[in-house]
Structure 1
Amino acid sequence: MRKIWTAGLGLALLGTLASAAVVGSAGQAAAAAEDPASAVVQTDQGAVRGTVGPEVRSFKGIPYATAERFAKPRPAEGWSGVRDATERGTTCAQLPGYPIGEPSTAEDCLNLNVTTPVGGGEDLPVVFWIHGGSMMVGYGDLYGPDRLAAEGAVVVSVNYRLGPTAFLAHPDLEESGSLALDDQREALRWVRDNIAEFGGDPGRVTLMGESGGGFAVCGHLASPASDGLYRQAVIQSAPCSTPGNASRTREEAEADSEQVIKDLGCLDAEDVAACLREVPIDQLLEKYGTDREPRPVSGTPELPLPVDEALRTGRFNRVPVLIGVNHDEENGMVIGAELATGEPMADADYEAAIRRDDSYGDDADAVLRRYPLGDSAGATLARVRTDSVWAVPTLDTARALSRHTSTRMYEFAEQDTPWYRDLPEPSFPAAAQHMAELPYMFDMALFEDLTPEQAALGARMNRAWVRFAASGDPNGGGEAAWPRLRDDRGRSGWYVQSLSSGDWRRADFAKDHGYRFWSRLSD
Structure 2
Amino acid sequence: MFFIKSIYLLVVLFIYETHCINYAPVVTTRNGQVRGIIKTLDDGTELYVYDGIPYAEPPIGNLRFRKPVPIGNWSGVYDAVKYRQSCIQPDKLEPDNNIPEESIKSEDCLFLTVWSPLPKTCGTKRPVLYWIYGGGFETGTIFSIVNDVRYVAAMGDVIVVTVNYRLGPWGFLYAGTDDAAGNMGLYDQLEGMRWVKKNIEFFGGDPNLVTIFGESAGGMSVGAHVVSPLGAGLFRRAILQSGAPNSYLGSESREKSYNKTLYLARNLNCSTESGRAIVDCLRLKTADQILNISKTARKDSKSFEPIFGEDLMPVQALDALQKGQFNQDIDLMYGTVSQEGALFVESLFPNVFDPSIPKPKINVVAAKQYIQFLYMVFKEPYGGEVADFYTRGLADTDYDRLRQAVGYGFGDYNMACPTVVFGREFALHSQGNRVYAFRVTHPPTIPVFPNCKGWMGVCHGDDVLLLFGFPIRLRGITFTESDYQISRDMIQAWAEFARTGSPSKMGSANWSEAIDRQSDSPYTKYMDLNPNNYSMVSDYYKESCEGLWLKLWNVKK
TM-score (norm 1): 0.86
Q: 1:269 to 1:518 in 2, by over 3 A?
A: closer
In the TM superposition, what are the counterparts of 1:2-81 in structure 2 within 5 Å? 9-10=2-3, 38-52=24-38, 53=40, 54-66=45-57, 67=59, 68-81=63-76
Alignment RMSD: 2.9
Equivalent position amino acid for 2:524 in 1: W
1:201 & 1:366 partners in 2: Cα distance?
Answer: 47
2:270 & 2:323 partners in 1: Cα distance?
Answer: 40
> Where do 5+ consecutive residues of structure 1 fail to align?
1-6, 18-36
Q: 1:232 to 1:89 in 2, by over 3 A?
A: same
Q: Who is 1:278 aligned against?
A: 284
User: Which whole-Å deviations, capped at 9, do the CAs of 1:414-443 have from their partners, x for residues lacking one?
Assistant: 13442247x4x5562442110011111115
User: Which whole-Å deviations, capped at 9, do the CAs of 1:131-159 have from their partners, x for residues lacking one?
Assistant: 00011110113311111001211000000
> Where do 5+ consecutive residues of structure 2 fail to align?
10-22
1:184 & 1:215 partners in 2: Cα distance?
Answer: 12
The answer to whether the 8 Å contact 1:299/1:305 transfers is yes
In the TM superposition, what are the counterparts of 1:235-384 in structure 2 within 5 Å? 235-242=240-247, 245-268=249-272, 271-290=277-296, 291=298, 292-318=302-328, 319-337=330-348, 339=350, 344=357, 345-348=360-363, 349-358=366-375, 359=380, 360-363=382-385, 364-373=387-396, 374-376=398-400, 377-384=402-409
2:457 & 2:389 partners in 1: Cα distance?
Answer: 26
The answer to whether the 8 Å contact 1:331/1:433 transfers is yes
1:486 & 1:74 partners in 2: Cα distance?
Answer: 43
Asked if 1:207 corresponds to 2:235, the answer is no
Q: 1:219 to 1:90 in 2, by over 3 A?
A: same
Q: 1:93 to 1:416 in 2, by over 3 A?
A: closer
In the TM superposition, what are the counterparts of 1:101-500 in structure 2 within 5 Å? 102=101, 105-121=105-121, 122-142=124-144, 143-150=147-154, 151-172=156-177, 174-242=179-247, 245-268=249-272, 271-290=277-296, 291=298, 292-318=302-328, 319-337=330-348, 339=350, 344=357, 345-348=360-363, 349-358=366-375, 359=380, 360-363=382-385, 364-373=387-396, 374-376=398-400, 377-403=402-428, 404=430, 405-420=433-448, 423=450, 425=451, 428-442=454-468, 449-476=478-505, 479-484=508-513, 485-490=515-520, 494-500=524-530
The answer to whether the 8 Å contact 1:120/1:152 transfers is no
Equivalent position amino acid for 1:412 in 2: V
Q: Who is 2:18 aligned against?
A: none
1:225 & 1:196 partners in 2: Cα distance?
Answer: 22
Q: 1:273 to 1:392 in 2, by over 3 A?
A: closer
- What SS class does the counterpart of residue 39 from structure 1 fall into? strand
- Shift, 1:286, TM fit: 1.5
Greater Cα shift, 57-66 or 38-47: 38-47
- Shift, 1:350, TM fit: 2.5
1:128 & 1:463 partners in 2: Cα distance?
Answer: 16
Q: 1:100 to 1:455 in 2, by over 3 A?
A: farther
- What SS class does the counterpart of residue 176 from structure 2 fall into? coil
2:543 & 2:338 partners in 1: Cα distance?
Answer: 9
- Shift, 1:461, TM fit: 0.5
- Shift, 1:342, TM fit: 9.7
2:117 & 2:168 partners in 1: Cα distance?
Answer: 34
Greater Cα shift, 454-463 or 68-77: 68-77
1:218 & 1:342 partners in 2: Cα distance?
Answer: 31
2:234 & 2:183 partners in 1: Cα distance?
Answer: 18
2:174 & 2:522 partners in 1: Cα distance?
Answer: 45
Equivalent position amino acid for 2:535 in 1: R
- What SS class does the counterpart of residue 201 from structure 1 fall into? strand
Q: 1:187 to 1:342 in 2, by over 3 A?
A: same
Q: 1:100 to 1:199 in 2, by over 3 A?
A: farther
The answer to whether the 8 Å contact 1:92/1:108 transfers is yes
1:406 & 1:420 partners in 2: Cα distance?
Answer: 31
- What SS class does the counterpart of residue 468 from structure 1 fall into? helix
Q: 1:49 to 1:488 in 2, by over 3 A?
A: same
